[in-house]
Structure 1
Amino acid sequence: MSAKILAIDTSTEMCSVALMMGNTVYTRSAIAPRDHTKKILPMVDEVLKEAGVSLQELDALAYGRGPGSFTGVRIGIGIAQGLALGADLPMIGISTLAAMAQNAYRHTGSTHVAAAIDARMSEVYWAQYQRQDDGNWQVVGQECVVAPSALTQSLANDGITWTQVGTGWAAYSDDFDQLNITCESSTILYPEAQDMVFLAKFALEQGHTVAVEESSPVYLRDTVTWKKLPGRA
């Protein structure tokens, strides 16, 4: 399948866009923690022009669904929804944690990745990922928001060396130094759209897309808050 997919992400300090055209990926990215709204649409225009296509010619639009900065995730999904609605494209939400696992594989060949994004309030967004034979990623356990100190009590050494990705490792290094699993460091701090577009290809091939009105963020920390209260419509 020769996929044509645009991916955007503003969920962390990194602002990035990627366009997959078959086996070619066009990318733009920048560390811009306060300028996402200024940079993301010009980046989209640049990759579309470089590839010589319009939004209407694409198969799907992928976006970083979180977890990450509440504001950043909302900005990304809002812009993605606007673009997808105007071009009548299905949408694909991609985990920022899974995207960092793919980033680690792209840079180092790592097949076992432990992702931790600093979630503030002495917590991290956490997940462990294992690469599958087809190149996709399987989460080990589940994505969660957790205090690093709790991970030191719950994780057992499995004999696997896990590659560290994300901002959480440095933010809570004292706690993470106590982890009972074998880890190796990396320089990967943020998710990037060029890894999201790779993961989106698997989702598209399996028919895992949603309509614009059904696309939604994943905050993890806000799971309870978003539930309807008893007696409310």
Structure 2
Amino acid sequence: MTQTVLLALDTSTEFCSAALLCAPADTSGQSSAEPRIWLRHEPTGAVSSTRLLPAIAELFDEAGLTLADCDAIAFGSGPGSFTGLRTATGVAQGLAFGLNVPVVPIGTLLICAESARLRDPSTTRVLAALDARMDEIYWADYAWDEAQHEWRTVQSASLDAPQRLVLPDVPFTLAGNAAAAFGARLPALAAARSVDSEALPHAGPLAYAALRALRAGRTVPADQAAPEYVRNKVAQTTAERMAGKAAKAEQAPQRPHDGATAQAPRDEARR
């Protein structure tokens, strides 16, 4: 193999993000030169699913490559928009099945950490925090291992109230949009060495993180690729809503109908 070709997809936010990375490799499988990368990162709101496949086709055309050249498909596995996560997972699975290549799931919070380090190579500790809506945040803590040339997970992806983040005991960068969303309610904002609100889920840093994961063998077969929601539930099912209404109805005080009330004295009078 003279090069590694990796397609990276992220639709965990309001952006449709895709990257095609082509990295030269030597006989040991390690990159001997800077990878080339082609990108699409467009605000699409809730319609990423309609834009993702055309964006992928455009990237391969620009690079002068075809899907058959692809060695792996990476995707942002979450947390993030439930619909968006399912979109990226489904497309990654479908392409990987067709090409018979592995899938590389990369957490969106780790993508934030990777983005912060790409923007500032001196970054070695990142508290990644994203607005999870419902007055909560998704967060994780990562430390850069220079010897391994890889991120080490100090705290895996979690869901908490803004004030419940566990702060690193060393200088750290606060990455993600939680600082902008919660301001002073986020204790990490005042404690951070630096704040990078632009370090967000994006197919570019995803591709670089996925390349290392691919070379380290951290891949899964297509049928095992799955989103990492972190928040297990955000809404009740129809059955749960109906059951809840029925339970409330049973607990409500029983009041006789007006007709029954009016009839009662006459019934008593007959006795």
Which TM-score tier does this pair reach, normalised by the shorter chain?
0.7 to 0.9
2:98 to 74, 86, 89: 86
Distance in structure 1 (CA, Å) of the matches to 2:170 and 2:105: 32
Matched with 1:148 is: 162
Please give the residue correspondences for 1:187-226 in structure 2 after superposition, counting only pairs within 5 Å.
Answer: 187-222=197-232
How far apart are 1:129 and its partner, in Å?
1.4
Q: 2:190 and 2:154 mapped to 1: Cα distance?
A: 16
CA distance in 2, matches of 1:183, 1:35: 37
1:123 aligns with 2:136: yes
Asked whether the 8 Å contact 1:117–1:125 carries over to 2, the reply is: yes
For structure 1, which runs of at least 5 residues remain unmatched after alignment? 226-233
Residue 48 of structure 2 corresponds to residue 36 of structure 1: yes
What is the TM-score of this pair, normalised by structure 1?
0.87
Secondary structure at the counterpart of residue 20 of structure 1: strand
Alignment partner, residue 17 of structure 2: 16
Output the CA distance in 2 between the equivalents of 1:126 and 1:26. 29
**83 and 121 in structure 1: CA distance in 2 versus 1, 3 angstrom threshold:** same
Q: Does 1:104 align with 2:105?
A: no
1:107 and 1:188 mapped to 2: Cα distance? 9
Q: Which one of the candidate residues 63, 83, 106 is aligned to 1:51? A: 63
> 3-state DSSP class of the match of 1:172?
helix
TM-score w.r.t. length of structure 2:
0.75
Aligned to 1:172: 182
Counterpart in the other structure of 2:173: 163
Query: How many residue pairs are counted as aligned between the two chains?
Result: 220
Q: Unaligned regions of 5+ residues in structure 2, if any? A: 24-34, 236-271
Aligned-pair CA distance for 1:60: 0.5
Structure 2 contact 4–22 (Cα < 8 Å) conserved: yes
**In 2, distance between residues paired with 1:179 and 1:26?**
33
Q: 2:26 is matched with which residue?
A: none
